[in-house]
Amino acid sequence: MKLIYAIVERDNAERVTDALNGKGYQATMISSTGGFLKKGNSTIMTCTEDDNLQDVVKVIKAVCGERVSVDVNVPYNAMVQGTQSAPIWAGGIRQTIQVGGAVIIAVEACFYEKI
């Protein structure tokens, strides 16, 4: 038995749960926030037999698509030279990051019962 966590963009969350429900998988959705961009995500949890893991992954991929690269300015702090003052914002560093898609994690579930 696998417990599957899928972290998806909030805009895709309802479509993912609808697609999973349509294939007979029950899912629970929890609101979450990304640690880097601080954007709204949803964490979707579902439990299924080991043989169905790849089918669940395929359903999630079909809805969320692939991750895409975007360029963002990541702010950084710099100390004012020669002073003991607090850090100040000193612009940003241009970085390319991956957004969209989904992060899927599957772990062994030692017990599952729906009551």
Report which of residues 20 and 35 the model is more confident about.
Answer: 20
pLDDT, tens digit, 9 for 90 and up, residues 90-114: 566 776 666 678 999 999 999 988 8
What is residue 106's predicted lDDT score, i.e. its pLDDT? Answer: 97
Domains parsed from the chain with CATH numbers? 2-67+99-108 (3.30.70.120)
- pLDDT value at 82 more than 90: no
Helical pair 10-22 and 53-64, crossing angle rounded to 10 deg? 140
pTM above 0.75, yes or no: no
Buried b / exposed e over 5-37, threshold 16 CB at 10 Å, is bbbbbeebbeebbebbeeeebebebeebeeeee
